[in-house]
Structures are given as C-alpha cells and as structure tokens.
Amino acid sequence: MIIIGVENMHNPMMIITQKITSLAYEIHDGMFRKDEELTSSQRGLAVRRMPSLLEYLSYNCNFMGILAGPLCSYRDYITFIEGRAHPRAPPGAAGKEDLPGDRAEPSPNVAVIQKLLVCGLSLFFHLTISKTLPVEYNIDERFQATASWPTKVVYLYISLLAARPKYYFAWTLADAINNAAGFGFRGYDENGTARWDLISNLRIQQIEMSTSFKMFLDNWNIQTALWLKRVCYERASLSPTIQTFILSAIWHGVYPGYYLTFLTGVLMTLAARAMRNNFRHYFLEPPQLKLLYDVLTWVVTQVAISYTVVPFVLLSVKPSFMFYSSWYYCLHVAGVLVLLLLPVNKTQRGKPTHGNVPLSPSEKCDDRGNSLEQNSFSTTNNVCNQNQEIASRHSSLKQ
C-alpha cells in the first residue's frame, strides 16, 4: 500500500522529498541523457533547462501543496504558473470552432464543491464510525479467543474500511485546494465538461470496488505511485518490485510496521499477479461465471489488502506479529505456495500482455494504461498515460 500518514508532522518533508527527487531526475533526463534512452513518459516530463532559484523554490514550497501535496510534475506546475494550462474550449454544440487565440478559462467551482462534500462526508465517518471500529481490536486477546473465523474476517475488513476516510478527507481536501487556486485542469471530456483531476490522488469508488491488488493500488495515492514508478521502478535494473516497495517504506518513515506492510505487499502483489495470469481466462464466459469471479476476487482482494496493511496502522513490531500469528500467517503461506506452485509469466516492463482477451468495464478501467499490468509493482497506469499526453502537449506549447 502506498499511503501518506496524514496525521504525521513530517508530511511536508515527505512531499518536498518527492518534489526534489522528481525534479532531479527530470533535469537529468532532459539535460544529460539522449532522447532515445528515455521512455515516452520520461521524454514528456524531461526538463530541458535548469530552473531558476525562484522557479525551484516556487515548485517545492508553494502554498497549495506544501502540507499534504499532492505531488505534481515540474512541467505541469510551470505550465500552470505561466498561464498555459487552459487549452482552447472544445467546439460548440453546433460544431463551430473557436476563434483563433480564443482560450477557455474553465471555472473549478463545481469540482471544488463536489470535493468539499466528499471531504465533509469523509470527516463525518472518521469522527463517528471510525472511532467505534478500532483496528487495534483485531489483536484484543478476548476477541481472538472468542471470535469465530468469519467474525475475524469481517471485522478485519470493516475496521480497515473505517480507517480509510481520514485519507480520503486529507487527499481530497488537498486536491480541492489546488483546484480552487486554478491548478489541476486536465482538459475536457467528450461531453465538453471540464476535468479537474490532473493531480487527483485517489478514486474512492474504484478503491472500494477493487477486484485485484493492482486495481486497488492503481487508485490509491496515485501521485505517490507515479513518483515511485518514475524514480525507482523504471530505473531499477535488479528486482524493481522489491526495490520500489522498500523505497516506499523508507520514504514513509522508520516505524517497523511500514516495513512489514511493504514486504508483505511484495509477496501479495506477486502472488496476485500469478493467480490472475493462470486462472482469470477460465472465468470470462458466460457472464454469470464472470460475475461469480468478480465477486470472489473482490472478497479476496479486500481481505488481502486489509491483512497486508494492519502493521501500517499498528506501527510497532509486537502488535503486528500478534496479529499475523493470530491468523497463523495464512496469507503469507498462501502467497509463498502460489509462487512456488504456479508458473509465473515473466514479461518485460513496458510491454502489454493482454492479447485479445475481452475485459469487463471495471477491468477496462483496471487494465487501461501502458506497461505495468503484468508487472508485479502496480502503479497508476491509466493516470500515467493521461499525464504523458498532457506533458507532450506542454512540450509542444513550449516549442
């Protein structure tokens, strides 16, 4: 899980770390590497000249994202600051093209209001329901001794579900603040509606309805996932999955629970990928069988995610191992057995491996993107592709 501890005081340092490292690699790609050595996303985000001191400090310390982010690329930020973020409005209803030089100035008011409503609901749930369902109750001795296994599974899921609204609140509020300042516009959809999700950090519906580990990770803390992909996963030559998860743990802090969560996440991600590759194609037809598959994978995914992130919430070693031992390390054992017994298709990063297998609408959202569906570290591929398109547009504008 890629999570920002919103309650921690070191959040600004975490955000600035992301920005400094991102900009360093973008400058390196733009000024010290040949274009043919870069991936399409690296080429689109590359910075071709050294930023001035004012630009550098503005990018790292601007008021919109200093406390809770979200991270944005330097190119997107400078394009916004220089007033080049708003393309011409789409053709009118009658197909009439805009006049040359006519530029739309879309209002963020609707997007901001919607996000503030989400913030309000998230805060309400956090202050009411979340307090009554503590994650720590999973390791309560009386609960462990008396509760049945179905009860333990259900409470594990519900308690971790109740722990998420505080992240929904913080990330959505940060997104709304940027939108209110005019940052975050990503063009228009096919209906001509302005889209304000350029730097959005999560998609709540997709998170809660995830039917795979990848789908969950693709929609949770999106900008951090992109940062990890750009600075580590794409550049690591040996075990990029393990290196990326370890980097994520180090970036979060020194609590042992972070490392237990991310090391478990490596195992869960690899095992989930192997299961999907080996069994999914048997359940695509008929639709009733596909529905059953979706329901089963939703249950397994939600339980596996909850099981994985318990140490992240508990933080300390002893309570984390108390929880895992109360579950007899069952999902760890299952993950190891899956990797030992099932063949694992090794694919190159950046190469899609779907073939012509039909996808359901939810899986089209899950599988849209370029390279990493078959990679064990799953990042936000669909958002990355969208950012690549925007970066390419910014590049053409600069020229």
- Chain segment 22-58, per-residue pLDDT in tens: 999 999 999 999 999 999 999 999 999 999 999 999 9
Query: For the whole model, what pTM was predicted?
Result: 0.80
Which two three-digit tokens encode residue 54? 């004012």
Strand, coil or helix: 262: helix
Give the integer Cα–Cα distance in Å for 321 and 327.
Answer: 10
Rounded CA separation 179/200 (Å): 10
The DSSP secondary structure of 297-316, one letter per residue, reads HHHHHHHHHHHHHHHHHH-S
Helix (H, G, I), strand (E, B) or coil at 108: coil
Strand partners, 216: none
Q: How confident is the model at residue 393 (pLDDT cuts 50, 70, 90)?
A: very low
Query: Side chain identity at 331, as an amino acid letter?
Result: L
pLDDT confidence tier of residue 358, bands split at 50, 70 and 90: very low
Instruction: Read off the pLDDT of residues 250-296 as tens digits, 9 standing for 90 and up.
Output: 999 999 999 999 999 999 999 999 999 999 999 998 999 999 999 99
- In this predicted structure, the answer to whether residue 237 has a pLDDT above a threshold of 70 is yes
Q: Is the pLDDT of residue 245 over 70?
A: yes
The Cα–Cα gap between 226 and 220 comes to 11
User: Do 276 and 283 form a contact (C-beta atoms < 8 A)?
Assistant: no
Q: 330 exposed, middle or buried (CB, 10 Å; 0-12, 13-18, 19+)?
A: exposed
List residues with catalytic annotation.
221, 252
